[in-house]
C-alpha cells in the first residue's frame, strides 16, 4: 500500500550529499492510463495513481546554487537550465517518488556527471529562459546524438493557487527512483512545501520532445493541468535500495 501523501517533507537523515535551488518552474501535466506507462518503470516500482489516473509531467526550470551540503556552490555545476519529463512512482515498500524519462540541461558538465554518478538520463540541450513581467518563456533544442527534439513553452502567471489533493499528489514527492547497476535505488530529498501560482499556457510548441522518450501519443494534446512556482531550495541524501524498508513514521 502506498504511503499517505505528505505535504511536508520527512526529515532528511544523514549523510546528505547535494544541495541546490529549483527556480521558476512550470508544471505541465497530462493524465494517462497507468497501464500505458508500466514499461517505463524500474523493477520494483509501478505507476502511482490519483483517482485511477497516473500523470506525465513536463517541467522546465532554472537550477541554481548546486553544491555539497556545506560550503560554496560548485561553479561548473551551480547554475543551468533544465527541462525534464517525469512520471510518478511507488515502490514495493509503499514509498512514493518520481521516475525521470529525460532531464535536458544546457551544461555539458552536469549531463556527464549526473549520468555517470547517478545513472540519470540527462541529455545536453541548447536552452533559453526569458521573463517579461509575469510571462515566462522556456525554449529548448536538444543536442544529443541520434535525437532531434525541441520545445517552446510560454506561460502567463496568475494568482496564488491554493493546492488541493491533486497538486499535493504531483508536487509532494520526497525522492526519485532510478535503475542503476542492475538494481533500483531511491534518492531521497527534502524541501519546503511548494507555493504555487495558477498559470495560463499561452504557447506550447513541441517538436519531437515527447516522442523522444516514447510518449508520442501525447504530442498535439494540451496538458490537463498547468501551474507555476517561483521555487524552493532542496537537499538530497545518499541513495538507498528501493527495497529498503521505510523509516517508522515521525523519524
DSSP code string of 178-241: EEETTEEEEEEEE-PPP-EEEEEEEEEEEEBTTGGGT-GGGTTPPPSEEEEEEEEEEEEEPPEE
Task: Annotate 98-123 with b (16+ C-beta within 10 A) or e (fewer).
Answer: bbbbbbbbbbeebbebbeeebebbbb
Q: Summarize the confidence of residues 130-138 as an average pLDDT.
A: 98
Read off the pLDDT of each residue in 215-220 and give the average, rounded to a whole number.
95
Q: Which residues contact 77 (CB under 8 A, 6 or more apart)?
A: 66, 67, 107, 109, 110, 113
What is the spatial distance between Cα 107 and Cα 130, in angstroms, rounded to a whole number? 18
- What integer pLDDT is reported at residue 251 of this predicted model? 47
Give the mean model confidence (pLDDT) for residues 190-213: 97
The secondary structure of residue 71, as a DSSP letter, is: S
In this prediction, what percent of the chain has a pLDDT beyond 70? 94
Segment 84-101 shows an average pLDDT of 97
Structure confidence at residue 57 as a pLDDT band (50, 70, 90): very high
The predicted model scores a pTM of 0.95
- Output the pLDDT for position 77: 65
Q: Which domains does the chain have, with CATH numbers?
A: 16-241 (2.40.400.10)
Q: What is the pLDDT of residue 96?
A: 97
8 Å CB contact between 28 and 153: yes
Q: What pLDDT, on the 0 to 100 scale, is given for residue 204?
A: 97
Average pLDDT over residues 37-50: 98
Helix or strand run (H / E) with residue 22: strand 16-32
Q: How confident is the model at residue 198 (pLDDT cuts 50, 70, 90)?
A: very high
Q: What is the pLDDT of residue 249?
A: 58
Contact 246, 3 (CB under 8 A): yes
- If you average pLDDT over residues 141-145, what whole number do you get? 93
* 104/243 Cα distance (integer angstroms): 28
Q: What is the pLDDT of residue 13?
A: 84
What pLDDT is recorded for position 214?
A: 97
In this prediction, residue 67 carries a pLDDT of 74
Amino acid at each position: 500500500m502506498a504511503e499517505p501523501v505528505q505535504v511536508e517533507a520527512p526529515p532528511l537523515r544523514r549523510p546528505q550529499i547535494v544541495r541546490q535551488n529549483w527556480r521558476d518552474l512550470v508544471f505541465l501535466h497530462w493524465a494517462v492510463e497507468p497501464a500505458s506507462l508500466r514499461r517505463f518503470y524500474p523493477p520494483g516500482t509501478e505507476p502511482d495513481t490519483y483517482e485511477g489516473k497516473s500523470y506525465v509531467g513536463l517541467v522546465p526550470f532554472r537550477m541554481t546554487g548546486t553544491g555539497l551540503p556545506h560550503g560554496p556552490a560548485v561553479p561548473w555545476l551551480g547554475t543551468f537550465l533544465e527541462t525534464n519529463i517525469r512520471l510518478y512512482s511507488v515502490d514495493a515498500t509503499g514509498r512514493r517518488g518520481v521516475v525521470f524519462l529525460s532531464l535536458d540541461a544546457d551544461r555539458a558538465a552536469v549531463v556527464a556527471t549526473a549520468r555517470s554518478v547517478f545513472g540519470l538520463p540527462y541529455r545536453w540541450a541548447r536552452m533559453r529562459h526569458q521573463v517579461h513581467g509575469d510571462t515566462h518563456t522556456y525554449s529548448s533544442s536538444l543536442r544529443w546524438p541520434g535525437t532531434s527534439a525541441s520545445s517552446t513553452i510560454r506561460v502567463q502567471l496568475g494568482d496564488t493557487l491554493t493546492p488541493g489533493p491533486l497538486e499535493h499528489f504531483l508536487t509532494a514527492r520526497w525522492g526519485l527512483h532510478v535503475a542503476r547497476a542492475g538494481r533500483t535505488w531511491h534518492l531521497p530529498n527534502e524541501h519546503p512545501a511548494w507555493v504555487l501560482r495558477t498559470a495560463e499556457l499561452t504557447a506550447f510548441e513541441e517538436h519531437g520532445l515527447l516522442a523522444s522518450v516514447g510518449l508520442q501519443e501525447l504530442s498535439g494534446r494540451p496538458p490537463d493541468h498547468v501551474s507555476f512556482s517561483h521555487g524552493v531550495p532542496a537537499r538530497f541524501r545518499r541513495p538507498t535500495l528501493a527495497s529498503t524498508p521505510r523509516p517508522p513514521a515521525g523519524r
